[in-house]
Amino acid sequence: MVTKKSNKVSACQAASLKKILKRYSILGKKNQGNDVPKGHFPVYVGQHRSRYVVPISWLAHPEFQSLLQLAEEEFGFEHDMGLTIPCDEVVFQSLISMF
């Protein structure tokens, strides 16, 4: 029997993701001006913290959710350095090319 992996976000995950987005959208406005289009949010990736502006729809992807879990484990979400994804930039670019 093959089980299909669902792309749906649980209510608990959705509440957590909304909290994360609200926090980092406020930080983005303070630190970067108003260059983030509606429906997107900034993330920082790699050793040099390269900035990417990604669509909110990516939050539904299990792979992106895994990156968020890694970010929470490594940095927590209560800091002022923006949403930082702890992976190599090449890995991140490869992953987002699949979305």
Task: Provide the number of structural domains found in the chain.
Answer: 1
Does 2 fall in a domain? no
**Diameter of the chain measured on Cα atoms:** 51
33 in any annotated domain: yes
Q: Is residue 3 part of a domain?
A: no
Is residue 58, in this structure, part of any structural domain at all? yes
Any domain includes 64: yes
Domain that residue 37 falls in: 11-97
Using a cut of 0.85, tell me whether the model's pTM lies above it. no
Q: Tell me, what's the pLDDT at 45?
A: 93
DSSP state of 29: H
User: Which residue, among 98, 17, 3, has the nearest Cα to 65 in the 3D structure?
Assistant: 17
- 17 lies in a domain? yes
Ranges assigned E (strand) in the chain: 40-45, 50-55, 84-85
Determine, yes or no, domain membership for 66: yes
Least confident piece of the model among 12-16, 23-27, 50-54: 23-27
Confirm whether 46 is domain-assigned.
yes
Confidence at residue 82, expressed as pLDDT on a 0 to 100 scale: 77
Answer whether residue 50 shows pLDDT above 90.
yes
CA 11 to each of CA 17, 42, 57: distance values in angstroms, whole numbers, following the listed order: 10, 23, 16
